[in-house]
Structure formats: structure tokens, C-alpha cells
Structure 1
Amino acid sequence: MATSEAALANIADQVKVDLVSKTHALENANKRKEIARTFISDTVTVPTEEMYAYATTATLGDDVYFEPSTAALEAHIAHITGKEAALFVPSGTASNQIALRCHLKQPPYSILCDYRAHIYKYEAGGAAFHSGAHVIAVQPSNKHHLTLDDIKDHVVTGTDVHCAPTEVIALENTLNGTIIPQEEVIAISEYARSLGIKMHLDGARIWHVAIETTTPLKQLCDPFDSVSLCFSKGLGAPVGSCLAGPKEFIARARAIRKLFGGGMRQTGILAGSAAYALSHNFPKLAKVHALSKRLQASLEEIGANILSRAETCMIFYDPSPLGVTYDEIAEKGSALPEPLFLGGSRLVVHIQTSEEAVNDFLSIVRELAEEKKKAGWVRPANGQASGDFKDVYIRRVPKTEK
């Protein structure tokens, strides 16, 4: 018996682990400082102590069976989007892919979307893998958003056996931080429904549209059969998205979520975090937009080209008219006592971005532009934005981490 107890104690010692370091509070404080100076994405936002505290008061059910706090969140999302039901899922990618799998029944079929859409570029070919779907990726003729004419020019209807009929039109709002005019969304929706084509909204950042245009969520979502909304980007919750749509659709989505390995257990703490984000962080997006617009205006004043304007939380810019490269800006940023975390052309402002970080970034661009000017750089006569750009997502490691 003593030998058996010793053996069990030995195994228990092997299994034991402590993830919380003695300096975890300091490490978390430093991480929050880093996030306040990160322009790479709004996915880097982290829960506040207040969000943590609220989340721990949520219920302790099992969401594969029934979890009260999660069910309450789903009911709330269904209500504010004007849909019959909603489903909590781990990510925006999961939400989009589950929606497509539910809409698409029997191939051949195609999905029509913007060529920059997340479901086309950044979901690992999920439409083909999960649904066997062909994707028709369309470049907007106005270089900003898909129009009804773009849709009509590329939608596949009829009985030509050489083509995969379009069964879903997927719009993303915002897309790279830009807003699709609601009247265009409605026109596309009316046309799609006249042909029996389903409409899906990748509304990962639809919260930004609601704030910027002062439009209720229901009105923004009415033209769509299904809607995906994220909590872990602009709203600052740690994990999760919701898929909303008709009751039968969401019932099927729950089964597909399980099939995809997305059935989760004690999700109450995650639902609690999302609820806190909706109540406390959603209103902060107005300040995010104001800060991003100030950032854009200052870059223009310095002389950089703006490739995509700050309609909400993102700016795409080009410093080459100043004789400056993205690498030079990133190197100077990473060398600061409190480093800046920068990618390439894309700058993302979020609810935890500090004004000091914006000021430091602009100071770097000004200093580099002045250095180039003193060295004899002359702005090219045709140094204007082309209106086309590549969205670059490179995370450069600051020198302190090397």
C-alpha cells in the first residue's frame, strides 16, 4: 500500500504544473503596455481586470448540452440583429465556415465575394475544404466596395453545365476598415433574393459600422440570411463570435459546429466576457475612429500617401513619397525605450491603443521624412496613391525581444 501511494504521488508530481509565475502581475502590466503600442491588429486586445471579474460571475453549464449565460448571450445577439436565433462559436472563421456549410446543400455551387474577403483570403481555403465550394472572387470596379453591377457581372445563374451556380453572396462589413454603403447592400440583397441566392454577412467588425453610421445592428443585418459577429477584435473580449440566422439554420449550425470540433463545454466565462465587452467596450469605438482619423490626417500633413482612408479603425498608407520605407519606420519604432509594434502598410487602432503610441509613430515618420529631405530627397511629381494596395500583416520583433 505504501509503495502504491508513493507511486501515485510520484505520478501526481509529474503531472503537476504551475503556469502563474511569481511576476505574472508585472508581466501582464508590461503586456498591456505593449498592446497599447501595437498597430498590427485589433485581435491583440486583452481583457481588463473588470472584464475578468464580471466573467467569473457567469454560470457553469456545459454548452454542448445547455449553458445559461451562453444561451442568454445568444438570445441577446439574435434580438439586436433581428434574427430568430444565434450560436456562440470559437472564432469568426468558424462562424463563417459553419454558415457556408449550412447554406450549401448539394454541389456544384459557388460563393461570390470580394477578392479581399476574409472567407476567401484568410480562412485556409475553408470554403473548398469544408463545403466543396468554388469561390468567385470579384475585384470591385470602384476599388472600394462591391456594387450591384459588380454582382450582376459575375454571378452565375442558369443551367450551363460548365459553371457552378452561385448559391451564396458573402459581403464583409467592414472590409479592411471600410464601410459598404447600406443602400448598396440592400440593392444586392434584393437582387440575390429575386434569384433565390442566400446572403451572408461577415460582420466581424460590424460594430464599427453601427458606431460610425449611427445605424442599429438590426438595420445593418436585415438584408442578410445569416450574420457572423466577432467579440475578440474591436470589442476586446478574449474569445468568441456569434452566428445569427433563422431557427432551423442555427439548429443545423449547432450540429455542424459539433462536427467541426467546435462544441465547447463551460463557455459561461467566455459569454460573460463578451457581454461585458458589448456593454462597456462597444461605446469606446467612437474614440477609436476619431484617433484613427487624426492619425490619417497627420500622415497626410507629413506627406505620406493614404491608400485606404480611416473610415473606422484602419488606415493603409504609403511612406515612399517621403523617401521612407516601412522597414525604416519599424526599425525606429522597435528601437524606442517603449517599442512600437508595426507591420507594413496597415495601421490598426483599437480600444487599447494609446494616444502616446500614435504621437510616437507620427514623430518617427516626421523625423525620417526630415532626414530624407535634408539628404536631398525630392518627392516624385507623380507620388500619388494608386488606389490599389496590398494589406501587409508582418509582425516585426523589437530589438528587446531578439
Structure 2
Amino acid sequence: MLVDLRSDTVTRPTAAMRQAMFDAEVGDDVYGEDPTVNRLQAAAAALLGHEAGLFAPSGSMTNQIGIQLLVAPGEELLLDSESHILAHEVGAAAVIGGISTRSWSSGGGRLDVSVVSESVHESLAYHTVATRAIAVENTHNRGGGTVIDIDQLRRLRALADERGLLLHMDGARLWNAHVASGVPLAEYGRLFDTVSLCFSKGLGAPVGSVLVADAERIERARSIRKRMGGGMRQAGFLAAAANYALDHHINRLADDHVRARRLAEALEPYGVTTAAGVETNIVLLRHPELGKLSAAAAEQGVLISVLGRDQGRLLTHLDISDDGVDHALTVLTGLLR
């Protein structure tokens, strides 16, 4: 048995999802004529309480389009030091958007609006750069699937309104935050000017993300997407998988959360993780020789993600069953004894 816990991006389409892709009605999306893409964009926007949406190949692209809509070249985006936009998008904000970035220390993905407030820059002279927008990630990947508290997000919106700032959310795993917290997606969405949503992680689609915003911004986003090479033609075959995921795979994320917690609770006695920190589907690991542990586990069919010399993670997802968790625990506890 192979149990791949490296990421929730490794999932494969279910048989029913493949059938939906096969049956998809398609058109040329660059002309706005793909009905399946149009359905997805409208559905995602409605769920988040926004006017419109735009389908793109990846969450990195929708993040970059989103922040370019809010921050002009030479202006500043404020975000936390461990965020995906800053740590895992290969400098795209600077290279593609000409955006200056500055960060605060998030402390495990938690949001402290008082810290953010102190970090906001105002332009004091011609040689200073003013903060134009703030970006947050929910759930927080490197923080271990942390769900950002809705009250902190409301405070962040109030801060943004008070200081004349705009807000972007990297909601690659916002579905997990919604299921874990019970906060409606629209409650999250209405607090942000742009939101990026991913379908190829916990929802199990093979590819694709949607950016939601107001209609005027999404119209501008089409040009940015084209400039970045993201204009796709008969993209409905891909959007059909995301539509299927919206209809069938959101509520089942609760199963992934239960399995992640079970992994953490069983591994906690070995000193490699803390179960209390597991809120969604990510279990952070710390071990002095994680590379060796990972290699030994892989020999027995269990794949884990290595993030650094002594840091790693386990992610539960659509393709991880209870039997898979059993096997992973048998292998990992055997190696940790």
C-alpha cells in the first residue's frame, strides 16, 4: 500500500469527476464562451459573496492577479513572513507585478491585527513606499493548517477601511477553514477585495483556481491573466472537475480533519508533533533527522513532506482512507520507537 501524505495536491480525480470532465460542454474561454467555465466562475463568486470570478490554471496565478489588481508597481504589499505568496511563489510579486513586499512574523499562522497595524507604512516623503494592501492566507499552510479567527479578520477589515488599504486573501484552503470553523464562505469573502480559491488541493480537482472580486476588477483581471499566459481555450474540461468538487467534495473535508487529528494524537507521544495545533488537514512534524525518517518511511510505502532539516508535514486528503492512516501509523510509530 502506498500512502502519500506529502500534500493534498497529489489527489487524482475520482471516477465520477472524470465522467463529469468527459461530459463537459465546452467553448473558447478566452472569448468568454465556455459554459462550464462560466458556471464555475459564477458559482465560486456567489459562494464568496462577490460579483464575478475568473478561472486560472493555478492558485499562484490567481494570487498574483489578485494582488496586481490591488497594488500598482512600486507600491507595497504587507503580508506575513511565512505566507505562500512570499515564500513559495518564486518572487512573482516583484518580477511580474513590480510590487514591493514587507512582512510581519505570523507566529504559526495566527493573525494579530495589532502587529499588522504597527507594520503599516504611510508615505512620509518622496523616498518612502506606502503600504497599499494586506494579504493573508487562510488556512495557513506553513502554520500547519491554521484557521484564522473570523474576529481577527473583521478587525483587519476595520483597520484596512480606517487606513485606506485593500485586502487580498489567499484562500487556497479556505474550504478547510469553512468546514472546520463553521463560518460561511460568504462571511469570509465579504471582508476581502480579492480572494483566491484553489480546487486542486483538498477538493481533489486535477488543476485550477478561481479569483473572485467585483465585476470591474475581474474584467481587468482577464487582461492580466492573458499577459501571464493563463488564457485557456476549451477549459471547460478542467472547470467541470472543479464544478464537481464544489457540488460533492466540500463537506467531506471534515473526514480529512478527523484523520489528521488521529495521526497527530497517535504520533504526539513520540515528541514529533502536537495534536492540539491540528485544526484542519495538516500535521507539522519536527524530528532531528527528518530526511532519514522520510526515506525509511518511503521504503515501507509512506511518503511524507520534508520542509527542512528537521521539519516536515503530513497532509490528509481525498485519497487517504482510514486504512491508509492505519498503515502510516504502523510504519511511523515503528520507526520512531
TM-score after normalising by structure 1: 0.78
Q: Report how far residue 307 of structure 1 moved.
A: 8.9
The yes-or-no answer on 1:346 pairing with 2:313 is: yes
AA aligned opposite 2:296: K
What's the C-alpha RMSD, in Å, of the aligned pairs? 1.6
**For 1:243, which of 199, 203, 211 is the aligned residue?**
211
The yes-or-no answer on 1:85 pairing with 2:47 is: no
Alignment of 1:3-402 (within 5 A): 34=2, 37-65=3-31, 66-105=33-72, 107-140=73-106, 142-176=107-141, 177-306=145-274, 309-320=277-288, 325-336=289-300, 339-344=301-306, 345-370=312-337
1:287-335: CA deviation from partner (whole Å, max 9, x where unpaired): 0000000111111134434398211010112245xxxx32343233222
1:58-104: CA deviation from partner (whole Å, max 9, x where unpaired): 21200001111111111111111100111111100110111112222
- TM-aligned CA distance change 1:198 to 1:361, over 3 Å: same
Q: Report how far residue 359 of structure 1 moved.
A: 2.1
What SS is found at the alignment partner of 1:64?
helix
What SS is found at the alignment partner of 2:269?
helix
Where structure 1 has 5 or more consecutive residues not aligned to the other structure, the ranges are 1-32, 371-402
1:195-244: CA deviation from partner (whole Å, max 9, x where unpaired): 22110000000000110011211001111001000000110001100000
Where structure 2 has 5 or more consecutive residues not aligned to the other structure, the ranges are 307-311
Q: How many residues align?
A: 328
Distance (Å, rounded) in 1 between the aligned partners of 2:130 and 2:276: 33
Aligned residues of 2:21 and 2:241 also touching (Cα < 8 A): yes
Q: Report how far residue 271 of structure 1 moved.
A: 1.2
Distance (Å, rounded) in 2 between the aligned partners of 1:303 and 1:256: 47
What SS is found at the alignment partner of 1:235?
coil
The one of the two structures with greater contact order (alpha-carbon pairs below 8 A, sep at least 6) is 2
- TM-aligned CA distance change 1:255 to 1:369, over 3 Å: closer
Distance (Å, rounded) in 2 between the aligned partners of 1:158 and 1:245: 27
Distance (Å, rounded) in 2 between the aligned partners of 1:307 and 1:149: 28
Aligned residues of 2:302 and 2:331 also touching (Cα < 8 A): no
1:7-45: CA deviation from partner (whole Å, max 9, x where unpaired): xxxxxxxxxxxxxxxxxxxxxxxxxx64xx111111111
AA aligned opposite 1:299: L
AA aligned opposite 2:249: N
What SS is found at the alignment partner of 2:175?
helix
TM-score after normalising by structure 2: 0.93
Say which is worse superposed, 43-52 or 349-358, in terms of deviation. 349-358
Aligned residues of 1:172 and 1:203 also touching (Cα < 8 A): yes
